[in-house]
Amino acid sequence: MKSFEDLGLTEDTLKVLKRKGYEEPTPIQAKTIPVILAGEKDIVGQAQTGTGKTAAFGLPILELLRENVKNVQALVLAPTRELAIQVAEEINSLKGKKKLSIVPIYGGQSIDMQLRSLKKGVDVVVGTPGRIIDHLERRTLRLGEISFLVLDEADEMLNMGFLEDVTKILENTNPDKRTMMFSATMPREIMRIAERHMGDYELMGVQKGNLTVSQTDQIYFEVSPSDKFEALCRIIDIEESFYGLIFCRTKIDAETVANHLIDRGYDADALHGDLSQGQREKILNKFRKRQVNILVATDVAARGIDVRDLTHVINYALPQDPESYVHRIGRTGRAGKEGTAITFVTPEEYRKLQYIKKSAKTDIRRATLPKVKDVINTKKQRIKSELAEIVNSKLQDNYLEMSRDLLSGNSPDEILAALLQYAFHGEFDEKSYTEIEDVTSVDNKGRTRLFVAKGKKDGLTPKKLVDFIREKCGVREDKIKGIQVLEKFSFVTLPFHEAEMLLEHFRKTKKGRWPLITRAKEGKKK
């Protein structure tokens, strides 16, 4: 196995990698980095999401870029704004002390803010095709002097209909640039792009490994974003001996969650990419020794963590892809012990969870969060057990002496109650707990509005629609809500799970035609 030192990276870059916790290159990194650094060929790389592609092209490009250059030096095209932001953040975290500006540009973000950034001068632009075209047409972005062009997740851009935009962008770039294209699959259209727009290129493939899930009990809870922290506390409190990793999307989220836990009295710490190697090792050492039993981390910072016997992994934020999910939860259930993986899902993320389940070929069961009464009862039982253990061990004389003094003028019941109130003030009071909204019982939350391409003119009635849904997917009648049968089409509302079952059924049976039932668009909702 090659090390990062073997790939030709500079000492400064190696220090950045060490600080971020990268221990050894992934297969696509080991293949790609030396070729890019050699400065000869273009690259077509076949690799799945989650295999370290960003560092595979980002590290050598950062090494080859020059400081204090007035024009844009590199363009990275990504299919979605989420990926554009993620790639820009990752490249930015890899640049070390090098004075380079890396900016994400995507639709939905203030164009004025983008114009200000571009006017100041940008070295690396990471953007979505649509917004890059906007700037090219405005003449606010010039790509005639770039040194590198990267097409990230090219097959996704093809699937999303960006082929024409990508071609237009390529035509606005200089012919002497180096081009790198990364794709999970290699359809003919992708290879045509390589043949038409790339020079002498090297095709690099990385064999896709099968996703495997460890012996882990996998659960998800549907919660609104504002209730995630309260839900997390309940899960920790209900467990007899919690020892786990909590995954957040960003370093700011990791810091915030860890600080809130500490404020509540939990033994917690945060691990993220901004920490020095010394700080990182110190935190990990405390976690291994269980001086802290809760570690809040980002995916990047958690790389290389080898901690045994975790009871829980909690996805405070849903992972970006199935590979990340499997990698996260694989940290539990080691050494023959079953661990628990818990994922928080907001109503808007339910479809993404279904995709993860399907891709990872695993079952993630829905569960109900512990009630406040259950948490309080668990705490009471735990205190009783711990007190009994202390009584059965040898009591210290100074405590016995103080106990006798207290009992001389008060009843044992009153003294014990006073001590419990003193030690656990507020913990047994239901009013001190924040209520968590049940998103599945609130209108328009935890439910999906569906569009049915039939109406009164087709002889459809509310009863016929209910019977039809029951027949196709066995959905209970009491779960079918909000039926509207109009002249040419209809609407119906179902819980997330049942709606996905119905949509999947019609995706499988459409046979090239537009499916009978689809997810209702915002403009169609009544």
pLDDT in tens, 53-71: 889 999 999 999 999 888 9
End-to-end CA distance of the chain: 59
In angstroms, what CA-CA distances link 522 with 1, 235, 348, 449, 525? 51, 35, 14, 10, 6
**Of the ranges 297-306, 334-343, 349-358, 509-518, which is most confident?**
349-358
Q: Per residue in 21-38, is it b (16+ CB within 10 Å) or e — as a string? A: bbeebbbbbbbbbebbbe
Instruction: State yes or no: pLDDT of 349 exceeds 90.
Output: no
pLDDT tens digits, one per residue of 106-139: 987 888 889 998 999 999 999 999 999 999 999 9
Name the fold adopted by 216-370.
Rossmann fold (3.40.50)
pLDDT-derived band at 86, boundaries 50, 70, 90: confident
The pLDDT value recorded for residue 48 is 66
Residues with Cβ < 8 Å from 369, sequence gap 6 or more? 221, 223, 231, 234, 235, 436
Most confident of 62-71, 335-344, 361-370: 62-71
What are 204-217's pLDDT values in tens digits?
876 555 555 656 88
Residue 187 confidence (pLDDT) above 60: yes
Fold classified for 4-205: Rossmann fold (3.40.50)
Q: What is the pLDDT of residue 208?
A: 53
How many Å apart are CA 132 and CA 142, to the nearest integer?
10
Answer yes or no: is pLDDT of 35 > 90: yes
Say if residues 72 and 145 touch (Cβ distance below 8 Å): yes
Domains 4-205 and 216-370 share a fold: yes
Contact assessment for residue 208 and residue 329, using Cβ atoms and an 8 Å cutoff? no
In the predicted structure, residue 104 carries a pLDDT above the cut 90: yes
- Structural contact between residues 327 and 283, judged by C-beta atoms closer than 8 angstroms: no
User: Could you give the 3-state DSSP secondary structure of residue 307?
Assistant: coil
What six digits make up the tokens of 484?
């509207």
Please tell me the class of the 446-524 domain: alpha beta
Cα 261 from chain centroid (whole Å):
21
Query: Is 90 exceeded by the pLDDT of residue 468?
Result: no
Domain ranges for the chain:
4-205, 216-370, 381-432, 446-524
What confidence score (pLDDT) does residue 315 get?
A: 95
Q: What is the mean pLDDT of residues 465-482?
A: 82
Q: Say if strands 74-77 and 148-151 run parallel, antiparallel, or are unpaired.
A: parallel
Per-residue pLDDT tens digits for 409-460: 888 888 888 888 888 776 777 776 777 766 654 444 467 788 898 888 999 9
